[in-house]
Chain A
Amino acid sequence: MKWFRTLKLTMNMWTVLSIIFVLLVLLPNLSIIVQFFSEPNENWLHIREYMLQQYIQNTLVLVLFVGFLTLVIGTSLAWIISAYDFPLRGFFQWGLILPLAIPPYIGAYTYHGILNYTGVIQTSLRNQFDMTVNQQYFNIMNMPGAIFILTIFLFPYVFTITKAFLARQSTALVENARILGSSSWRIYFKVVLPISRAAIIAGVSLVVLEVLNDYGVVSYYGIQTFTTAIFQTWFGMGDLQSAVKLAGTLMIIVLFLLVLERIFRGRRRYSFTTTKVKLLQPVKLEGKQKWLAFSYCSFIFLIAFLIPIAQLLHWATLTYKQFFSNEFWGLIWNSITVAFIAASMIVVIAVVISNFARLNRGMLAKTFPKVTILGYSIPGAVIAVGIVTFFTAIDRELFDFYEWLGLQPTLVISTSIFMLIFAYVIRYLAVGYNSIESGFDRIGTNFTEASRMLGMSVTKSFFKVDMKLIRGAIFGGFILAFIDIMKELPLTLILRPFNFDTLATKAYQYASDEMIHQAAIPSIIIVVVSAMAIYVFHHVLEKE
């Protein structure tokens, strides 16, 4: 009797919609897991025998080196900027986040364009100094090059999380260590690194997930990893079944890494408590040290932001006419439309699930938020494979249905833009969800309860009270999701309908076709929009 009472009460619109949304997010992933265990075909046996080892090896080398290098650069910059005062420190605080605005694939072809035979460096050397250099030293399209690119454009993840932690949480420990007379190197290795372990691991995990997700850099530089292999088996060999097997393997690696992260991070969380915080007071550097700190920060800022941007701007001046073509405005229109629709859906789904999770207790309310984050951990190529298999299966069912209706049977969903939007929603749901959840956390449940005591149902309370109080969080979640979708490459490349291009795919295509100059303007638009997101994000974060 009691369970019936509970069931009747919890089965409202919010619960039902939450369950539907969560299932929609889960199904494509489950579809990979199910098919992962299907009978292997000849291709797969071939891949497993001769190629899989290479994929795993390359992927691991990338992950390890990029992970380690971003750790070194990110934490050292975070420490220097939190603990010391030197020229332009205020600027570097946010300037060093800016490299995040350049998607690595754009950085990859920009640097290739700078360094290759016709690039600015080699032509200057030839024309000005009559020097011809050994091409070998200027070739970036290899493994070390990919590591370089991914490191300089992804280190801000480690930098920002560690810096936020150091600035607020380390004050007492660092000041004590200073009083006890430790040198700054000693403090860095003995105090800073150990206490910010959880924050550093959180940052590095984000980097690792981005590396695993990357398709643009590795495919442009011709490195065989899991994502490129998924593309090749699928489009090159037309073998979706083996692509599913690869995707499944990659998914297992990701899940393994997530478990590893949990273990390493231990029970400590990287987010800080919002109670009274004392900010770390930076020590003023003098003489040589001052310029050393300044040079280090400037060097990183130069190679990770200023140089690629300058190059893109230069190319843009050569191709600005492109800006006035109808085709170009079509690209912008496409990018904005899909991003707008998907981000709106993300916001609605995130609001429903987070409102359900905060107003209920029990298993579902606890697990649902975790499911929403799932998509952000899983590489785009894997999600794409899951979605295609899932929708083709649905289409096949509908096929019979259309026939039964007496209509001309066609593949409807699996060739439509709907599939791409659906994929965006799964991949970036976490971005919107985090923002909206933190909004709900701030207002608590008191207002909702007060509203219910005054005779309003949960739904009416949401529209009259809660929604008005978390407007900012909803807007923030929308913007962040919107911009992530605009930059997205692998999902869009796989799932876009025939003849459908966005700024990102077109830029990438130009670059791949050795028309790097033409790639500049769409790239700059993406960078500018992303920089705005960073501004919004840190502006909102700082205010709170």
Chain B
Amino acid sequence: MFVHIRELAFKYPNAKESTIKDFNLTIDQGEIISILGESGSGKSTILRLIAGLEMPTNGNIMVGDHCMCSNSSFIQPEKRGVGMVFQDYALFPHMTVEDNIKFGLQKWPRKDKKERIGEVLELVNLEDYRKRYPFELSGGQQQRVALARALAPKPKLLLFDEPFSNLDADLQIRIREELRRIIKATGVTSIFVTHDQDDSQALADRIVVLRKGAVAQIGTPSEVLGTDCSFDERLPVKPRILSRV
């Protein structure tokens, strides 16, 4: 067991109800997990809690042998060794692709830095775009830069917040395949949240269905989405591709 989340709970200061209630999950090393839920189900909040961008009201998060947070301790996001790809990518607009990737490698020796930048750019097929600025790239390219930037410091765990929500439908399908290839090639443990069942099915080893801040179901894609017909009724989220047609 690589990631171990126990009794996680979270409440925004002025909210009446908890956003996350008693969330438990264990993840094996190298596994790809998808957290599937409607908007407002608290799926992005879980990601932010694991990243350290929010402080839970209760619960423990362990990654590897390290306790990321408990009721008595809390490790700041910059010290966690967790990477994240943001929904809108959050590429620094005042830096080139190369500088964006280099940003996370500040403590690396110069030679290793250069090598690593080359490696990750090759991985995402953007070697020729080093000197470009984010606004000079297409949406799909920006996303790949964001992925390369998150992968560069070799995080123990990689988080994706709605990674496909800003992409066209056909691009979405292509990138999905590519993303799975890249993640599996690096062997990094990953969690991504989405509201799209197709995304979950194509990418994930296991799916966690979240409803109102609590786990409703956990299993492999076929267990969760494949055979269980009643699921669609319970989760009124249509696949994006269908809803666009």
List residues of A whose CB falls within 8 A of some B CB: 1-2, 4-6, 8-9, 361-362, 446-447, 449-457, 464-465, 468-469
CB of A143 to closest CB in B, whole Å: 49
Residue of A5, A452, A465 near B74 (CB, 8 A) is: A5
Q: Check if B76 sits within 8 Å of A9, measured CB to CB.
A: yes
List B contacts of A457 (CB < 8 A). Answer: 76, 78
Q: In this assembly, does B109 line the interface, its C-beta being within 8 Å of a C-beta of chain A? A: no
List A contacts of B79 (CB < 8 A). Answer: 455
Interface centre among A4, A8, A452, by most chain B C-beta atoms within 10 angstroms, is: A452
Query: For the complex, what is the distance from the CA of A313 to the CA of B241, rounded to whole Å?
Result: 70
Query: For the complex, what is the distance from the CA of A75 to the CA of B195, rounded to whole Å?
Result: 49
Q: Check if A446 sits within 8 Å of B90, measured CB to CB.
A: yes
- Please, could you name 27 A-B residue pairs with CB atoms under 8 Å apart, sorted by A? A1-B71, A4-B72, A5-B71, A5-B73, A9-B74, A361-B12, A446-B88, A447-B90, A449-B51, A449-B53, A449-B77, A449-B86, A450-B84, A450-B91, A451-B103, A452-B53, A453-B51, A453-B77, A453-B82, A454-B78, A454-B103, A455-B78, A455-B79, A455-B106, A456-B78, A457-B78, A468-B94
Q: What sequence of 0s and 1s flags, for each residue 96-114 of chain B, a beta carbon within 8 Å of any chain A beta carbon?
A: 0000000110110000000
Residue of A1, A4, A449, A469 near B93 (CB, 8 A) is: A469
Interface of B is mostly: loop
Query: A465 — nearest CB in chain B belongs to which residue?
Result: B92
Q: Check if B77 sits within 8 Å of A452, measured CB to CB.
A: yes
Query: For the complex, what is the distance from the CA of A464 to the CA of B93, rounded to whole Å?
Result: 12
Given A1-B71, A5-B73, A455-B104; A450-B92 close (CB under 8 Å): yes
Nearest first, the 3 A-B pairs at minimum CB distance are: A454-B104, A450-B90, A446-B90
Residue of B71, B72, B90, B153 near A455 (CB, 8 A) is: B153
Q: Check if A452 sits within 8 Å of B55, measured CB to CB.
A: no
Query: For the complex, what is the distance from the CA of A362 to the CA of B71, rounded to whole Å?
Result: 19
List B contacts of A452 (CB < 8 A). Answer: 52-53, 76-78
Query: For the complex, what is the distance from the CA of A451 to the CA of B103, rounded to whole Å?
Result: 8
CB of A144 to closest CB in B, whole Å: 51
Query: A446 — nearest CB in chain B belongs to which residue?
Result: B90
List B contacts of A455 (CB < 8 A). Answer: 78-79, 104, 106-107, 153
Query: For the complex, what is the distance from the CA of A452 to the CA of B84, rounded to whole Å?
Result: 10
Q: In this assembly, does B211 line the interface, its C-beta being within 8 Å of a C-beta of chain A? A: no
18 further interface pairs, Cβ-Cβ under 8 Å (given A2-B57, A454-B103)? A1-B71, A4-B72, A5-B73, A5-B74, A9-B55, A449-B53, A449-B90, A450-B86, A451-B103, A452-B52, A452-B53, A453-B77, A453-B83, A455-B78, A455-B107, A456-B106, A457-B78, A469-B93
Query: A468 — nearest CB in chain B belongs to which residue?
Result: B94
